[in-house]
Chains A and B, each alone.
Chain A
Amino acid sequence: KQEVTQIPAALSVPEGENLVLNCSFTDSAIYNLQWFRQDPGKGLTSLLLIQSSQREQTSGRLNASLDKSSGRSTLYIAASQPGDSATYLCAGTPAFGGYQKVTFGIGTKLQVIP
């Protein structure tokens, strides 16, 4: 069974700091990977999708990369802002055994202090 670990579980940083969130899969055979943001009591907002032929994606201050050989992904947030405070979840689609069985991590709770 695919399991996803996100490190750290929680992170508190001062505004303006650059930070890295980590995500790893027990089964490294990942087809594609998506990073989401979730505000308290809300649904998930897609941030970045790394498709099967890609290794990284960038959107504004966000950059995500995926190392398929190790099953690890990182989300880099540059120049953090208080509005970035949220829980960040990664979700991977396995390469085999059912493409609909996307598995989520528990998330990293980020707090950016003004």
Chain B
Amino acid sequence: DTGVSQDPRHKITKRGQNVTFRCDPISEHNRLYWYRQTLGQGPEFLTYFQNEAQLEKSRLLSDRFSAERPKGSFSTLEIQRTEQGDSAMYLCASSLGDRLNYGYTFGSGTRLTVV
């Protein structure tokens, strides 16, 4: 297992287009998180899955955003009708166990640029 994988690493898209990102967590991790990080800021929580169930969504996750984890393994994050304000690094993390006692493992992120 090589850790958390995210694809693509970089995405440039025109405003108004839809984009989809993929995250493959560490195989035995049952929890998966999406965060967004803008330049000079710390990561901000977007949403969280335990197995295939999406248990929480941040207010940052507008109705243009949707995340899925259909089989409790990989996850996708889709942004519809992208806006310039969506430009950010989208980070995926996974963890195992209760109350994060095992900590987060992050992927390398997907950098989105909306032009």
Contact = CB atoms under 8 A, between A and B. Distances in A.
A42 B108 CA distance: 5
B69 interface: no
B106 A36 contact: yes
A59 to B, nearest CB: 12
Nearest to B4: A43
B108 to A, nearest CB: 4
Interface string A69-111: 0000000000000000000010101000011111111110000
Contacts of B105: 46
Interface residues of B, number: 29
A106 B100 contact: no
B21 interface: no
Contacts, number: 71
B104 A46 contact: yes
B99 A93 contact: yes
Contact of B109 (A32, A43, A100): A43
A52 B97 CA distance: 13
Nearest to B91: A43
Contacts of A101: 45, 56
A6 to B, nearest CB: 8
A106 B31 CA distance: 24
25 contacts: A4-B42, A32-B99, A34-B104, A41-B111, A42-B108, A42-B109, A43-B6, A43-B91, A43-B106, A43-B107, A46-B103, A49-B102, A51-B101, A52-B99, A52-B101, A89-B42, A91-B42, A99-B98, A100-B31, A100-B48, A100-B55, A101-B45, A104-B44, A106-B41, A106-B42
Interface of B: 4, 6, 31, 33, 40-45, 48, 55-56, 89, 91, 93, 98-109, 111
